[in-house]
Structure formats: C-alpha cells, structure tokens
Structure 1
Amino acid sequence: MKNIYVDWENKWIRLVWTLVMLVIGGMVFVLIHMPIPWLLGPMTAVFITSRIGKIKPYWPVQLRNVGLIIVGYTIGLSFTKEALIQIVHQLPSMLLMTVIMISFSAVFAILISKLTGVDYPTILTGCIPGGLSQMITLGEEIKGIDLTIVTFLQITRLMMIIFFVPLLVASPLFSAGETFDLSNGAGKITSHWAELSPTILIFAVICIIFAFLGKKAKLPTPFLLGPIIGTAILNIGGVHGPSLPTSIMDISQLLMGGYIGLLLKSDQLKNKAKTISFSIISGFVLIVGSLGLTLLLVKMHHVSPVTGFLSAAPGGMDQMGIIAHEVHANLSIVTGYQLFRIFFIFFIVPPFLKWFFKYFDRKRLKI
C-alpha cells in the first residue's frame, strides 16, 4: 500500500484545518457558556494551535473583511435620526473621554518606558488605545521606533480587551440590576432566514460598494466604516434593512476571531518576559481606567453602565460593536464614541506625535 502524501504547507489544507479548529473552539465556548463564544472561542483556538501544532493556521484577511462588512451593516441599522441627534449632543463628552484616555495612556507610557528601558516614543506609540493599524503605520513612518514592540503592545492590549471586556460585562458588576438600553431598537435579531426581506440584497450591494469606496478613500477600518455609512444613509433615508439571523452574526464573529487569534507573534520580540508582562499590565490599567470613565459618562448622560463601559473601553469599534449588539446596549452611542476616538486618533494624534517626537529628539540631543 502506497503512502499518502499530504502537503501541510498547502494554503487550502491549512485553511480547512484552521476552519475546523475555529468551529471546535466556538462550540467549546458555547458549551461552557462563555460570552460571545463565536468570537472568543475561535480566537483562543487558533491562538493555541498556532503555537503547539505542526500545521500552521492560515486565515486570510479577506475572510476577516467579510465579517467586518456584516458587523458594519448591523451597526449601521442602529443609526436613526434620533440616534444621530443624541450623538451630536454628546460630541463634547466624546472629545473629553478621548483626550482623558489618550493622556492617561501617555502618562502610563512614561512609567513603562522607565521600567523596561525601551525609549518613550516606542512605548507611547504602542500604548495609544483604539488605533491598532494607524499606530503601526505611524511606527513605520517615524525613524527609531521599534515596530515589533509597538505591534506587540497594541495587539496584546486588543486581545486583552476583546477577552476580558465580555467577561466584565457578563459579570455581576454590570449584569446585577442592569437595564439594557433598547431605545434605539438595536440588538434585535431574528433566528429565521425566512424573515429576511428582499431589501437585504440592496443593503448587501451598498455595503460592499461602500467598503471598497472606504478603502479607496483610505478611511480607518474601511470594511467596517464603509458599510456603517452606507447602511446609515439608507436607514435614515427611509429604507429599512432587516435584522440578521443569529447564525450570520455567529459566522461574522468566527471570521473575525480567526484573524485576531493569529495577530499575536512574539518570535522577534526582545526581552520577552518583561515586555509581555508590561503589555498585560498596560491592558489591565487601561481597562480599569475605562471603568472610571464609565462612571463619569453614566453621571453626565444617564446611559446604562454597560453602554457607558463599552463606549469608554479602549478596544476596536468592531469588537465593541459585537459585544454591544449581544448585550443589547445602545449600539449607536457605543459606536459613536468608538468612531469619534478612531477619527481623532486617525487625523489628530499622528501629526501631534510626529511633532512631539521631533521635539523629544531635539531635547535629548541637547542633554
């Protein structure tokens, strides 16, 4: 009998293997009743198998982008005229929260820099919350930045937020006596494919078009932001799209979880133990800081604690949007705060940091 040769380096074989691992991870997390199991389960499964298995997982960014489009559509449905008016009224608060969070990160970066011996510009670039792709791009543009450390700090924080925020939201800290915001109608989902109306085809085309337009316009996270904008325009214009079945939302989470789980790579990292320790501490401190901002937001605008926390949490808009959808928080408010921070980081932070780093270098040379 001839030996059967299997090319484990083949991308299609690796893709199928990865998909099996993602499904198993999701099912395990469903069985143990973890929050948002189809995001956390696949993320954990592919993270583990990429380090202990002989087959290298493969999950292309295009599949992640499909998941982002689905989430973007869901978020876009929450944008109504009333929701936009509410968001406009809270713009000063959005600016305040963003400035406080970034300032808090900048001060904490001084401590990490002194304890690790890594230069301050590198640590600061790695500690700015909510701007993973933008900060990595900025690190590539600025001379002297250690891009490996920046990427590791950003991704470690992101993974900590994605994993621990759902656990916090599901804990008695938020669930005890919690009345979730349902005023905007967001978070309602249908479990039957038959309930999807033909207008879903219109929204599907619009979401895809706006995703690629967003990419061409170089918007931050275009495959998420583009569908949000396209869906919101139709929704506010009077064309209302149907809510998606739970199975589609689960698939979108799986598609994103597989990609996120492969992001964290420590092969080229110097002083691994120290850097990993401070990366975890940094993520923990930012979560604690966002809890403090939650109290301020609840007092200022009387939103529910879970809505306030997800609005202030230093994670990505896509992940916070998924969690907000799952717990029936006010999705438009959460997205509004996260979106404001993304644009602030995208347009305001990089020019300021470039100026600051030049000033920092000149001052250091004088010393």
Structure 2
Amino acid sequence: MYKQNLLIFLLAAIGGYIFSLLHLPIPWTLGPMAMAIIWKLLLKRTLNWPKKVRNAGLVILGYMLGSPFTPAVAHQVVQQLPLMLASTLLLIGLCLGTGYVSGRYTGVGLANSLMGSIPGGLSQMSVICEEIEGINLSVVTLMQTVRVLTVLFVVPLLALHGLADQVAATSRPVTHLELSQLPVLALFTLLILVSVKLAKRIQLSSVYVLAPVLGTASLVLAGVTAPVLPTPIVAVAQIVVGIKMGQDVDFGSLTNWKTIAFINFLSVTSVIAVLLGIAFAYSHIAPTSLVTAFISMAPGGISEMGLTAMAVNADLPTVVAYQLFRLLFILLVCVPVTRRLIQRKCASQH
C-alpha cells in the first residue's frame, strides 16, 4: 500500500508540473486531481489515499488562508458583513433555483436536486444527507461533484485568463523559511493543533480547514506575524489534497449519470455567469476589484478559491472572509432549514 501511494504521489506531482507548464489554474491541486481520476476511472486501479495525509495538507492550506487577517483587514471585513449576507443569500437562491429546474429535467426528485445544489462542501453535504430520510446519496454526491469540478476549472480559468490575464499563474516567488522564524511557526502550529482539537469536540464542520484558518487568524489579529511557508511545502499540501479530491470522484454509481451530470453542469455554469455579472456591478459600488468580487462569490470551497485568489493576486482576506461566512451560513442556517422542509414534505406524503 505504501509503495502504491508513493507511486500515486509521484504521478500526481508530475500532473501538477504538467499543469504548471501549461499555465493552467491552481496546477498543484487540479493536476494531481486529474491524475487521480485517470488512475481510478481510466486505468481501473484501486486508490485508497490516506485521509490523515489529506487532512495534514488542509491544515497547511488553512494556515496560509488565515495568515493575512491583520486588524486592519478585520475592520474592513466587519464593514462588509451586510454585503456578505446579501451575496450569500443571492448565491443560495440561485443554486436552489437551478436545482429545482435540474430536478424537473432529470427526474431525481426535488429533495435530491435541492440538497445536490446547495453550495456547501462535498464531504459535508454527503455526511448531512446520510441523516435525511428519502435522500439518494449517490445522486447528491454526483451533483455536488459536478458542481465542485465545474467551479474548480471554470472559475480559476476565468479569473486567471479573463479577469486578471496580466498575472501569470507561476508568478509567485519561491520563499524560504528563516531559522529565526521557527519559534513563531511552532507557536502557530501549537495553536492550530489546539484549535483542531476544540473544533472536533464541538463537532465543527470542515474541521481541518476552518480550525487552522480561525486559529491562525486569531494569533495574527493579536499582533503576531505569520511566517511565510516555503513554496515546496505549499505545493506538497496542494498535491495531497488534490489526490483525495480525485479519489472522491465517482460517476459510475448511477445509470443516468450522464444526463444528471450534463444538466447540473449547465446549471452551475449558468450560476457562474450570473455571478460574474453581479461581481462586475459590485466592483463598481464597493472598493473591491472585479476578480476579487468574482472569486469571493464563486460557489467553491475555501481552500480552492483561496488558492485561486493567491494565483491572481486577488485580495485573499476578502475572498476567505466571504467564503468562510457563506460556509458557516450554509451549515448553520441553510442546510437545517432545507432539511426541515424536506422532512416535512416527506411526512406529509406518508
């Protein structure tokens, strides 16, 4: 198993290098993900990537995403809370609306189409749907997978080559960690480990992303500057996360998966197109660039959209704040409300 995982890692690294040579967006995540999909679906080989390795990569990415949250940035974020709520409600409304239409055309049922369209995390939505009666987990997983893959490829491509084409994907310099920074990094590491443990105790969703982001941001807000991690470490973190994302892709569990995937792809691209127009208008009424507004509103994950923001030199704290606010709103408000409506409808039918 160790030899196979090492081989997969090497192939994933090659995939990331190829994607970087082609100047594709977030190459060290999407390249490994593509190689994992090829390994699993085309070569028909088994893939059991350790979740602990993926989680370690998420912790590193979470640290990077939380490091820019200075007090000045926090003040700016607080001022934008009304806009965050408005954009979140708008995005959820768009996704649920297209989910309703998708359910009518694919015949998967309203409950499945709604849960499959909510822009939450793929793994989180799968766990939540296991607890809801009348939900087809395969349908929801497929719809969420198509949404995530579409966002991961379309949004970075638009951001990098359409909205910020003057920025090269590989323009970020190679960084080195100074010995004098090791004690500070050890302090951040300790706080992140404590944050993860506390997050698990209170059963917080997306523990290995949210806990490092919140833990790192809290220390930065206290006045401690977060050391910049060496580029190879960041690349390895993206590789191990990308491999697990590729492993989770499974289109073969449904007989009509092609129809569901195609309709859902059209739905997601429609939402992205509408969001692009809204981001354009938003960038003219708020002190935010178009590319920052677009990535902030995109229905992707914190880590993926954060990496996209770094690739195009967008305002990372703003992007992470919007994505974090939306994820918390979905997990704490949207999903419980939708679940209750679905359960009430199922009860009325019995």
Q: TM over 0.5: same fold?
A: yes
Is structure 2 residue 75 aligned with structure 1 residue 90?
A: no
Q: Alpha-carbon deviation of 1:106? A: 1.5
Determine if the alignment matches structure 1 residue 307 to structure 2 residue 292: yes
Residue in 2 aligned with 1:150? Answer: 140
2:96 alignment partner in structure 1: 106
* Residue aligning to 1:276: 261
Given that 1:212 and 1:223 are in contact with CA atoms closer than 8 Å, whether structure 2 keeps it comes out as no
CA distance in 1, matches of 2:123, 2:13: 27
Tell me, what secondary structure is at the counterpart of 1:348? helix
* Deviation (angstroms), 1:333: 0.6
Question: Mind listing any 5+ residue stretches in structure 1 that lack a counterpart?
Answer: 1-10, 179-186
Greater displacement, 197-206 / 340-349: 197-206
Letter in 2 for 1:245: P
Match of 1:36 among 20, 23, 26: 26
With over 3 angstroms needed to count, the CA separation of the structure-2 counterparts of 1:92 and 1:205, relative to structure 1, is same
Count of equivalent residues = 346
* Paired AA for residue 208 in structure 1: L
Aligned to 1:175: 164
CA separation of 1:311 and 1:299: change in aligned 2, threshold 3 A: same
The alpha carbon displacement at 1:189 in A equals: 6.3
By how many angstroms is 1:52 displaced? Answer: 2.1
Question: 1:23-63, CA deviations, whole angstroms, 9 ceiling, x for partnerless residues?
Answer: 11112112222222111111111111111225323311111
Deviation at 1:214, TM superposition (A): 1.6
Matched, 1:80 2:53: no
**Paired amino acid for 1:252:** A
Confirm or deny: 8 A CA contact 1:306 1:329 kept in the other structure.
yes
Pairs within 5 Å for 1:81-230: 81-171=71-161, 173-176=162-165, 191-194=175-178, 197-198=181-182, 199-230=184-215
Q: Is 2:314 the partner of 1:329?
A: yes
Check whether the contact 2:175–2:228 (CA below 8 A) recurs between aligned residues: no
Shift of the alpha carbon at 1:152?
0.9
Confirm whether residue 45 of structure 1 aligns to residue 35 of structure 2: yes
Secondary structure at the counterpart of residue 181 of structure 2: coil
Match of residue 272 from structure 2:
287
TM-score by length of structure 1 reads 0.88
> How many angstroms apart in 1 are the aligned matches of 2:132 and 2:6?
39
- Report what 1:240 is aligned to: 225
C-alpha distance in 2 between matches for 1:224 and 1:351: 21
Larger radius of gyration: 1
Q: Cα 1:205–1:189, aligned 2, differ >3 Å: closer, same or farther?
A: farther
Q: Which amino acid aligns with 2:150?
A: M
Q: Following TM superposition, by how much is the alpha carbon of 1:89 offset from its aligned partner in structure 2, in angstroms?
A: 0.9
Equivalence for 1:182? none
Q: Report SS of the residue matched to 1:59.
A: coil
Moved more, 31-40 or 41-50: 31-40
1:255 aligns to 2:244 (yes or no): no
Matched residue type, 1:192? H
CA-atom RMSD in angstroms: 2.0
How many angstroms apart in 2 are the aligned matches of 1:54 and 1:131? 26
How many angstroms apart in 2 are the aligned matches of 1:348 and 1:253?
30
Secondary structure, counterpart of 1:135 in structure 2: helix
CA contact (8 A) 1:196 1:243 kept: no
